[in-house]
Amino acid sequence: SQGNYLDGITDIIYMNLPESKKLFTFLLVIDCNSRFVWGRLIHKASPEEIKIAFRHLLRNENMPAFPILRHDNDPSFNKIKPFFKKLHILSTIKRGPHYLTLFEPAAKMIKNILIKGFEVRSNFQFNFKNVQERLKDAINSYNNTPLSKYKFIPAEKKTPLHDAELRDRKSTRLNS
């Protein structure tokens, strides 16, 4: 294990939600080690919207500034490389199909949780705020669900017990 908070993958997800005639756009970020996910609903996949979403995730959702953040060759991500550089994040293109096997299952599971959440709510108002809240619930559910393929829960893997780097940080703080 390389450790948590070292290597992340991000992508834009487009989704038509049941009962809604609108296309919703999400920014998702996944930690390659713990499979922990952060996400934000955005109005469109523009460079400015992506920067706003990243600022929110970094400031309000405790997402780490990954030293390496991988993405596809989307022009919107390529245009904000200077933004990532200011945050000391190396923004780079995904290398090979391995990274798709990390991101795609998480994105698919979050989409399914989101759809199931809408199916149980009648008279749901599909506005930006409500959909953002449901996305947050879906991500929280994913982060606290056992992943059968990996045999762990992402939220639990973000602890010193599962990560040598976090264990070292904790013991250093305790010894100071």
The pLDDT, as a whole number, for residue 122 is 63
Between β-strands 68-71 and 90-93, what pairing exists: parallel, antiparallel or unpaired?
parallel
Q: Got the DSSP string for the chain?
A: ---TTSEEEEEEEEEEPTT--SEEEEEEEEETTT--EEEEEESSS-HHHHHHHHHHHHHHS-----SEEEE-S-HHHHHTHHHHHHTT-EEEE--STHHHHHHHHHHHHHHHHHHHHHHT-TT----HHHHHHHHHHHHHHHHTS-BTTTTB-HHHHTSTTT-HHHHHHHHHHHH-
Establish how many alpha carbons lie within 13 A of residue 166's alpha carbon, considering only the half-sphere containing its beta carbon: 16
The pLDDT, as a whole number, for residue 21 is 76
The pTM for the full model equals 0.83
Specify whether the CB–CB gap between 42 and 52 falls below 8 A: yes
The pLDDT, as a whole number, for residue 99 is 67
The pLDDT, as a whole number, for residue 14 is 92
The pLDDT, as a whole number, for residue 128 is 86
The pLDDT, as a whole number, for residue 114 is 86
- Mean pLDDT (10-residue bins), the chain, 176 residues: 75 82 90 90 95 96 90 91 94 75 87 80 77 92 86 76 53 40
